[in-house]
Amino acid sequence: MRLEGKRALVTGSGRGIGRAIAIRLAREGAEIAINDLHIEGEARQTLAEVEAAGRRGILIRADLAHADEARRLVEEAVRQLGSLDILVNNAGIEKRSPFVEVSEQDYDTVLHVNLKGAFFTSQAFARHLIGTKRPGKIINISSVHEELPFPGYASYCASKGGLQLLTRDLAVELGPHGITVNGIAPGAIATEINRSLLDDKPRVERLLKQIPLGRMGKPEDVAALAAFLASSDADYVTGSTYYVDGGLAWHYQE
Ligand code: BGC
């Protein structure tokens, strides 16, 4: 177990990739603050699996589209767990729409949750670590679309592109405090975020042809990398984004 005695906050961990990360970090020995917009139902299942791994878990509701909620989330996690060592900025949403039809409201929702939420949660977490003079690890769950265009998802691309450079900037600003900052860029992972894709068989078949490893990813594929980046095995790793995409991003076909 690589995370014995550590405490981690995983945003958006009620389901999907966030849930798999929360469970994997717990299996590696960490206590987990589980956050989601709703903490009834699905988030309780994450909690049950964290507890089944023999670790303490707490549930905190927060809407990360608002900076004050992000700050309250970190304060509450610190109050209940005593301190934090690891932050996984995983909460994210996407909205499909042709660029020329994107509304201001949809743009704001996507940018606020995916980018502003990660920004101010990281700020509160960094203040906590600097204030208590302790090192720590920030892991930003981005997407292959921090690099690759995704037609029909311009606001999502803008948010993930922002997250890419936020990762690099924070690695430089927070490195002197012993805080590492890395990104994970998942490709096509089978979760609820792409339910419309999963329900569209011809689209899935076209997608699978573009994935050299020939399958969609599992949340656990992403969680395994998060466990490494959260551990002391990755103490000298900062400022980079790691792809978990079965080879999708670099597979160009004529
Ligand atoms: C998106 C998915 C998409 C995948 C691969 C992810 O970031 O959330 O909707 O299927 O990228 O394109």
Q: State mean pLDDT over 157-182.
A: 98
| Helix residue ranges, H only, the chain | 16-27, 42-52, 67-81, 104-111, 117-131, 154-174, 195-198, 201-209, 219-230
- Comparing CA positions, the residue from 155, 160, 168, 165 lying closest to residue 143 is 160
Q: Is the pTM of this model over 0.95?
A: yes
pLDDT mean over 197-218: 96
Could you tell which of 150, 164, 218 is best to mutate to test the pocket of ligand 1, judged by most ligand atoms within 8 Å of the CB?
A: 150
State in Å: Cα 48 to ligand 1 middle.
Answer: 28
Q: Which of 137, 143, 173, 164 is nearest to 9 (CA)?
A: 137
Is there a domain that residue 165 lies in?
A: yes
Mean pLDDT of 207-213: 96
Beta bridge pairs of residue 179: 136
The answer to whether residue 254 is domain-embedded is no
What's residue 182's pLDDT?
Answer: 99
Q: What is the mean pLDDT of residues 25-48?
A: 97
Q: Is the distance from CB of 133 to CB of 83 less than 8 angstroms?
A: no
Q: Is 197 in the pocket of ligand 1 (CB under 6 A)?
A: yes
Contacts 24+ apart (CB under 8 A), 95-101: 95/153, 95/155, 95/156, 96/152, 96/153, 96/196, 97/152, 98/152, 99/154
Measured in Å, residue 160 CA sits from the centre of ligand 1 at 11
Can you give the pLDDT at residue 254?
77
Tokens of residue 45, six digits? 């299942």
Report the distance separating Cα 121 and Cα 214, nearest Å.
36
CATH assignment of the domain containing 242: 3.40.50.720
With respect to residue 252, please indicate whether it lies within any of the assigned structural domains: no
Residue 162 lies in a domain: yes
d(CA 221, CA 107): 29
Q: pLDDT, tens digit, for every residue of 37-82?
A: 999 999 999 999 999 999 999 999 999 999 999 999 999 999 999 9
Residue 146 has pLDDT above 90, yes or no: yes
* 143 close to ligand 1 (CB < 6 Angstrom): yes
Residue 171 forms part of a structural domain: yes
* Confidence at residue 231, expressed as pLDDT on a 0 to 100 scale: 98
Q: Is 227 in the pocket of ligand 1 (CB under 6 A)?
A: no
* Mean pLDDT across the chain: 97
Give the number of domains in the chain: 1
- Ramachandran category for residue 214: left, alpha or beta (phi over 0 → left; psi -120 to 50 → alpha): left
Catalytic annotation on 153? no
In this structure, is residue 230 part of a structural domain?
Answer: yes
2 within domain boundaries: no
User: Residue 229 above 80 pLDDT?
Assistant: yes
Check whether 253 has a pLDDT greater than 90. no
Tens-place pLDDT, residues 99-133: 999 999 999 999 999 999 999 999 999 999 999 99
Query: How many CB atoms sit inside 10 A of residue 40's CB?
Result: 10
Catalytic residue among 107, 153, 156, 242, which?
Answer: 156
Looking at the predicted structure, is the pLDDT value of residue 252 above 90?
A: no
Q: Is the CB of 157 under 6 A from ligand 1?
A: no
Distance 50 CA to ligand 1 centre (A): 26
> How far is it, in rounded angstroms, from Cα 160 to Cα 156?
6
Residue 253 lies in a domain: no
> CA 108 to CA 27: how far, in whole Å?
36
Ligand 1 touching residue 185 (CB < 6 A) = no
187 lines ligand 1 (CB under 6 A): yes
Give the pairing of strands 7-10 and 136-141: unpaired
β-bridge mates for residue 241, sequence order: 183
- Domain residues for the domain of 182 are 7-247
- Nearest atom in ligand 1 to the alpha carbon of residue 94 is 8
Q: How confident is the model at residue 201 (pLDDT cuts 50, 70, 90)?
A: very high
pLDDT of residue 185: 98
